[in-house]
Chains A and B, each alone.
Chain A
Amino acid sequence: MAKPITNIQRIELTEEEKRRQDLLEIEQMLAENKEVIKEFFSIVNKMSDRNMLNIVNSLFGQGDRVLDIVVKAADKPETANTIKNLLLMLGMLGTLNVQQLEPVMLKVNNGIARMAQADKEEDDGYVSMVRSLAKPEVKRAIHLLLAFLKGMGENKKELERTTQLPEDQAGTIMQAEEIDRQLASIHEQKQPRRSKGWMVAAAGVSVIGIAMSGKLKK
């Protein structure tokens, strides 16, 4: 006669048995992960040397409170601004075309080197200065400067994210296509054209040249 029963006698491990089982499991785990554990302890030791463990311990111990303080501290205009600036700078870095920039930067470096050299040398007279305008490297430099000035003069306000209200931005869907188009148009701008235009440029630039020579004379 098997009467219904609901009473279950669980296998109760004694403290010692439990401990023995736990230790056995740990021992097995240690043996299986020997290398990792060695490395881990080496890291922990170094952290301990620098008092890191203490810091981390306290941080986790008071996790919610610390996070609360951090978030509240962060949620201030200047902090928000810092993060915002960082993100913006990152964004701007992303828009730079390094491929195009590299030759320009090399030239600028070269220019600076020449400038440093020029500082030590005797000043030339006006005649030699005007003559040097005809030198090919100077012509190239003037061309580049002009192209740069032209690009800089174009209105790109609608793409600015830092100066205008969101609703005035051109952002949105068209933004990506816009940027693509610009890049394409830059590629399209062929090498500086050698044409009669350089005379006009020379005339204009001579003004700058004069101003610069004045500066160099100082």
Chain B
Amino acid sequence: MSQSVRVTINGEEVSMQNDQTVLHALMDRSLTIPSVCYHPSLGPIETCDTCIVQVNGEFVRSCSTVIQEGDVIDTVSPEVKEAQLIGIDRILHNHELYCTVCDYNNGGCEIHNTVKEMKINHQSVPFASKPYGIDDSNPFYRYDPDQCILCGRCVEACQDVQVTETLSIDWNLKKPRVIWDKNTTINESSCVSCGHCSTVCPCNAMLEKGMEGEAGFLTGIAKTTLRPMIELTKNVETGYGSILAISDMEAAMREETIKKTKTVCTYCGVGCSFDVWTKDRKILKVEPQIEAPANGISTCVKGKFGWDYVNSEERLTKPLIREGDAFREAEWEEALELIASKFTEAKQTHGPDSMAFISSSKCTNEESYLMQKLARGVISTNNVDNCSRYCQSPATMGLFRTVGYGGDSGSITDIEQSELVLIIGSNTSESHPVLATRVKRSHKLKGQKLIVADLRKHEMADRSDLFIQPKTGTDLIWLSAVTKYMVDQGWEDERFLKNRVNGLEKYKKSLEPFTMDYAARVTGVKKEALIQIAEHIHNAKTTCVLWAMGVTQHMGGSDTSTAISNMLLMTGNYGKPGAGSYPLRGHNNVQGASDFGSMPDRFPGYERVADDNVRLKYEKSWGVNIPSEPGLNNHEMVAGIHDGKVKMMYLKGEDMGLVDSNINDVHSAFEKLDFFVVQDIFLSKTAEFADVVLPASPSLEKEGTFTNTERRIQRLYQVLEPLGESKPDWEIIRDIANRLGADWQYDHPGDIMAEAASLSPLYAGVSYERLEGYKSLQWPVTKDGTDSPLLFIDEFPFPDGKAQLFPVEWTKPLEFAEEYDLHVNNGRLLEHFHEGNMTYKSKGITSKTPEVFLEVSPELADERGLEDGTLVRLTSPYGSVKVKCLVTDRVKGKEVYLPMNDSGEGAINYLTGSHADKETDTPAYKEISATMDILKEKGESPLPRMNYRNGNPQPQIGVHVEKKWARSDYVFPGDIVKERGTIHG
């Protein structure tokens, strides 16, 4: 517990909290103490020795010394300054100051700023080069040992924040340096290129390659000229003072050419936000900010380095109109006119319900709102849906049934502080990399327990305390059995159930069939393991369950999600910090696309279309009539086309022709459409079937908001101008609506948000002002702007405020004929997004992960004679794919894994069928079996040697500074000063 204590700082007595370090206490009182290696997001690293002060007469590092009652702190005596000086001198011994010609001279260099702050004029130990060359091997960042001050921030970030555990400092070398794995090159190591190291590096040692030769006015000059220039700069120096003044001036000038814009990442549902540094259309780097609410300083390779696609030559820059067997570029005027006339004609001849609208989980909330407004308010149909239908609708359903809100029940910080994390059917470290780092860190350092249930032994499984591999599609059974076991033991949370939950008796009765023996038999998981899970949950004060497509993309996806929520209700794991249900949203705006009404049965904020009062509210505001019947979902739209009911479709930002299941069937549906409008940034597979293709602008070229997995609404700002004649989606939808006579007056996405907030109680207090910069709001947001980081603290959103236990039964997964003897699991890879048409545009990513591959187990490889590079064909009842094999023990037995990131012959959805979750019609992507034929026995491995999966991580905690201190050439600066004092005295 924190207590108030009295301490004396530089002779003045003050009172402060005792649970903080001396450095914090001093910084709070605006006393500047140099602290080069200290980073607020990393904590004390203790390598730089510049923050030394005297506490009770002893020299200590203020970053790691905790305040105690009665401490006498001295930060200004000549002895203290002398000790700090030794610290900075040692840093300058490792770092050459040539600021004006340095790409890192952008005002944020810790060394530059500390030297200036300390008014250092000269250093006593001159700079000495280290006997190592620059490591330039990685496509995204480079390491210059000569500029490295060995502060260890990068190591701390890699080991304990990102927890990839690749970097360390080899303190045993004569000249220590940062090493990768066991001292290999960056590119051949286990480095996942997440960018943490270059983000936290205080200087130019670890530098993003986009910055090289670009950031400064003089940094682009030829290498041969640069060296004499550095020498000249150094020879001329009359003390650092004047040099720093010039470099400060130059840094200020850079502000004019480098633009820094906040955006929100689009590569998953975590919702990382960061600044993008650009010079014209060139992206110099992505700079995460400490205050970013979801991710802080964290990113993954895609968010940090995967933006090349925005400048791709393949981007669409003009509307395309189908003419014979080719698309013809056209002007906007012509394209919009054509669309308006076809829409009007279809509405008149076949009625509004012959038209279907598909919104995108990649687009903004405002765009989702406009799409449903176009469908409902202009065309008069509820046939509007979005692609969360393909992933998380079952989770939303499970939560609607039990707790009333279809979103994560807490924040990422709750997951971080939970005592027990249970991950089911989620390859978290590849699908939600930054969120996974929080679990990995808590598990590594804070004693958090981790249980993983998955078919595949992925990284999270590798790290877990307990890993079970239930048979595919049987999660509901073991979840129910574990819950029943806890009830049998009397471990349920009686008080919570009594006060806050309905339907207990009926639910208990429904659990009866789920005995441990039954569960063990059907799931293939040992009884002991299931009992252990129950014990873990019972012993933990707080439990979070994280789940994803491994649960939802089954015929019983909604029911399994419900079973998870039931279990959490039974154990009281709702409405308290560190607990709750977390269906991890896959895309940047899966949450928001549904939140803002692109659903056939719901208005924004999940208000029902069938509810007369709600409909009346929208009818009044929009001045139209809205049909009361819910419309068709994605799945039903495809069926509707085949049936001849749906004649026209307007789809934006979703490659349905690749990501829907059973794509052969989807393609033949597209071919039957009378008129098909596709809006995208590329000519996607889906767009190939279109009659009109409209060029849209990606996130970096527009404003708006996204809602992440935590229900967190965040603003994105425009980084670049729209390329060519492409336009933000909201402008295009507005223009189409206005051609149809809507008279929409939106000049800015903020206008759209204001309208949505005025209509939907869930966002009552949402406004662009409250979301400015890095500010964010987690819905529900009340009128006064109070948001809800943690749900259900006092009540559940049901009439009596109580949650509902919802009995469910197991749905047996699809059974295939005997010849289909391999189960084809599928999902994501860390490096690629969706079907890959964005991330494959990055040369760096493509060089490290050039193509899709099929993971096969060593057992299967032995049995069938497969090796890395063997080309095989998988055939299911619905189609076939051709792909190269990779033998790995991440999969076992007759289980194979095909990542979904391919748009060619390896595209998973040639295999999948049309079966779907019985509640939500989410395709059962995970229920697919196939036969295998070998097409070519030998070939090159689809995974290059320099992929992180072939690396050799070296886990350790922190930077091992004690090894530095133990070196014979190290003396603590405080001791040197003391020594001098005794000599002089």
Given contacts A3-B325, A5-B327, A169-B121, 8 further A-B contacts (CB under 8 A): A7-B327, A9-B323, A10-B329, A11-B329, A75-B235, A84-B236, A169-B122, A172-B118
Where the two chains meet, the residues of A that have a C-beta atom closer than 8 Å to any C-beta of B are: 1-11, 64, 67-68, 71-72, 74-75, 77, 80, 83-84, 87-88, 90-91, 161, 166-167, 169, 171-176
A11 to B725, CA, bound (A): 13
Q: A74 to chain B: which residues have CB within 8 Å?
A: 228, 232
Q: A5-B326, A72-B228 are in contact. Are A91 and B238 (CB under 8 A)?
A: yes
A-chain residues with CB within 8 Å of residue B232 when the two chains form the complex = 71, 74-75, 80
Q: Contacts A2-B670, A3-B671, A173-B85 hold; do A80 and B228 have CB atoms under 8 A apart?
A: no
- B121 near A172: Cβ-Cβ < 8 Å: yes
Question: Does B221 lie within 8 Å of A67, measured CB to CB?
Answer: yes
Known: A10-B329, A71-B232. A172 touches B225 (CB 8 A): no
Greatest chain A CB density within 10 A among B122, B221, B323, B672 is at: B122
Q: Is the CB of B320 within 8 A of A176?
A: no
Given A4-B688, A68-B222, answer yes or no on A84-B121 (Cβ-Cβ < 8 Å): no
Residue of A nearest to B236 (CB): A83
Q: Which B residues lie within 8 Å of A176 (CB)?
A: 119
Task: Choose one: B119, B222, B231, B322; the contact of A2 (CB below 8 Å).
Answer: B322
A residues near B685, Cβ cutoff 8 Å: 4
Report yes or no: B671 in contact with A2, Cβ–Cβ below 8 A.
yes
Cβ-defined contact, A171 with B236, below 8 A: no
Q: Is B229 an interface residue (CB 8 A)?
A: yes
- B194-239, CB < 8 A from A: 221-222, 224-225, 228-229, 231-232, 235-239
Nearest B residue to A68, CB-CB: B225
Inter-chain contact A75/B231, CB cutoff 8 Å = yes
Complex interface: chain B residues within 8 A of A91 (CB) = 238, 242
Nearest opposing residue in chain B for A1, CB measure: B671
* Given A9-B327, A75-B232; A173-B222 close (CB under 8 Å): no
Can you list the 7 inter-chain pairs with the closest CB atoms, starting with the nearest? A166-B122, A171-B121, A4-B688, A80-B235, A167-B124, A7-B326, A75-B228
Complex partner residue of A6 from B239, B318, B683, CB under 8 angstroms: B683
B664 part of interface (Cβ distance < 8 Å): no
Contact with A4, one of B235, B328, B689, B691 (Cβ below 8 angstroms):
B689
A8 to chain B minimum Cβ distance, whole angstroms, is 5
Query: Closest approach, in angstroms, between the C-beta of A18 and any C-beta of chain B?
Result: 15
Mostly helix, strand, loop or mixed at chain B's interface?
A: mixed
Residues of B with C-beta under 8 A to A68: 222, 224-225
Residue of A nearest to B328 (CB): A9
Neighbouring A residues of B688 by C-beta, 8 Å: 4-6
A77 vs chain B, min Cβ distance (A): 8
Say whether B238 contacts A88, CB under 8 Å.
yes
Tell me the complex Cα distance, A29–B689, Å. Answer: 42
B843 within 8 Å of A (CB atoms): no
By beta carbon, the residue of chain A nearest B232 is A75
| CB-based contact B231/A175 at 8 Å | no
Q: In residues 645-688 of chain B, which contact A (Cβ within 8 Å)?
A: 657, 667, 670-673, 676, 683, 685, 688
Are A161 and B238 interface neighbours, CB within 8 A? yes
Contact of A174 among B81, B224, B229 (CB under 8 A): B81
Task: Say if the beta carbon of B741 comes within 8 Å of chain A.
Answer: no
Supply 13 A–B pairs (Cβ within 8 Å), ascending by A: A2-B322, A2-B691, A3-B689, A5-B326, A9-B323, A67-B221, A71-B232, A74-B228, A83-B236, A84-B235, A84-B238, A174-B78, A175-B119
Smallest CB gap from B121: residue in A: A171
Residues of B with C-beta under 8 A to A174? 78, 81
Residue in B closest to A10 when the chains form the complex, CB atoms: B329
Chain B residue contacts of A8, Cβ below 8 A = 320, 326-329, 683
* Cα distance, A83 to B238, chains bound together (Å): 10
Chain A: which residue is nearest B218 at the CB level?
A67
Residues in B neighbouring A9, C-beta threshold 8 A = 323, 326-329
B85, closest chain A residue (CB): A172
The yes or no answer to B120 lying at the interface (CB within 8 A) is yes
Cα distance A174–B228 in the bound complex, in angstroms: 33
Contact B124 A64 (CB under 8 A): no
Residues from chain B with Cβ under 8 Å of A72 in the complex: 225, 228
CB A182 to nearest CB in B, in angstroms, measures 16
Which chain A residues lie closer than 8 Å to B119 at the CB level?
171-173, 175-176
Among A4, A80, A90, A161, contact of B236 (Cβ-Cβ < 8 Å): A80
Report whether B222 and A64 are in contact in the complex, using a CB–CB cutoff of 8 Å: yes
Bound: A88/B691 CA distance, A: 73
Given that A8-B327, A11-B318, A166-B124 are known contacts, is A2 also in contact with B242, CB under 8 Å in the complex?
no
Say yes or no: is B123 at the interface (Cβ < 8 Å to chain A).
Answer: yes
The complex places the Cα of A6 from the Cα of B688 at a distance, in Å, of 6
A83 → chain B closest CB, angstroms: 5
> Which one, B237, B239, B327, contacts A171 given CB within 8 A?
B239
Cα distance, A5 to B318, chains bound together (Å)? 17
**Nearest CB in chain A to that of B76: its residue:** A173
* Docked pose: A30 CA to B942 CA in angstroms: 56
Selected from A2, A169, A175, the residue in CB contact (under 8 A) with B689 is A2
- What A residues does B657 contact at CB under 8 A? 4
Closest-CB distance, B79 to chain A (whole angstroms): 12
Contacting pair B325 A64 (CB below 8 A): no
Q: Which residues of A contact B118 (CB under 8 A)?
A: 172-173
CA distance A87 to B238 in the complex (A): 7
* Residues on the A chain within 8 Å of B229, using CB: 71, 75
Provide the residues of chain B in CB contact with A80, threshold 8 Å.
232, 235-236
Please, how many angstroms separate the alpha-carbon atoms of A6 and B492 in the complex? 59
Nearest CB of chain B from residue A5's CB, rounded to whole Å: 6
Residue of A1, A4, A68 contacting most chain B CB atoms (<10 Å): A4
Distance to closest chain A CB from B149 (angstroms): 19
Chain A residues with CB below 8 A from B690, complex form: 2
> B117: nearest residue on chain A (CB-CB)?
A173
Specify which chain A residues have a CB less than 8 angstroms from the CB of B673 in the assembled complex: 2
Whole-angstrom distance from the CB of A67 to the nearest CB of chain B? 6
Contacts of A11 in B (CB 8 A): 318, 329-330
**Smallest CB gap from B229: residue in A:** A71
Closest CB in chain B relative to A179 CB, distance in Å: 11
Q: Which residues of B are found within 8 Å of A1, using beta-carbon distances?
A: 671-672
**B197: min CB distance to chain A, Å:** 31
CB distance from A91 to the nearest CB of B (A): 6
A80 to B323, alpha carbons, bound, how many Å? 70
Bound-state CA distance A136–B231 (Å) is 58
Q: Tell me if A64 and B85 are in contact (CB < 8 A).
A: no
Residues of B within 8 A of A175 (CB): 119, 121
| Residues of B with C-beta under 8 A to A3 | 325, 671, 689
B829-862 toward A: CB 8 Å interface, digit per residue (1/0)? 0000000000000000000000000000000000
Contacts of B225 in A (CB 8 A): 64, 67-68, 71-72
Interface string of B364-400 (1 = CB under 8 A from A): 0000000000000000000000000000000000000
Q: Which residue of B lies closest to A3 (CB)?
A: B671
A5-B327, A5-B688 are known contacts. Are A173 and B320 too (CB-CB below 8 A)? no
- A75 CA / B98 CA spacing, docked (Å): 14
- Quote the shortest CB–CB distance from A31 to chain B (angstroms): 24
- In the assembled complex, the CB of B351 is this many whole angstroms from the nearest CB of chain A, namely 22
Residues in A neighbouring B242, C-beta threshold 8 A:
87, 90-91
Q: Which residue of B is nearest A69, CB measured?
A: B225
Q: State the CA gap A175–B78 with chains docked (Å).
A: 12
- Chain B proximity of A176: nearest CB distance (Å): 6
In the complex, A167→B92 CA distance in Å? Answer: 13
- Residues of chain A with a CB closer than 8 A to B231's CB: 75
| Cα separation A3 to B322 with both chains bound (whole Å) | 10
- Give the CA-CA distance A118 to B326 in the complex, in Å: 104
Q: Which of A2, A3, A8, A10 has the most CB of B within 10 A?
A: A2
B307 to chain A, nearest CB (A): 24
Considering the chains assembled together, what is the distance between the CA atoms of A176 and B224 in angstroms? 38
- Which residues does chain B contribute within 8 Å of A171, judged by CB atoms? 119-122, 239
Query: Does A4 contact B667, Cβ atoms closer than 8 Å?
Result: yes
Q: Give the distance to chain A from B36, nearest Cβ to Cβ, in Å.
A: 16
For B327, what are the chain A residues with a Cβ–Cβ distance below 8 Å? Answer: 5, 7-9
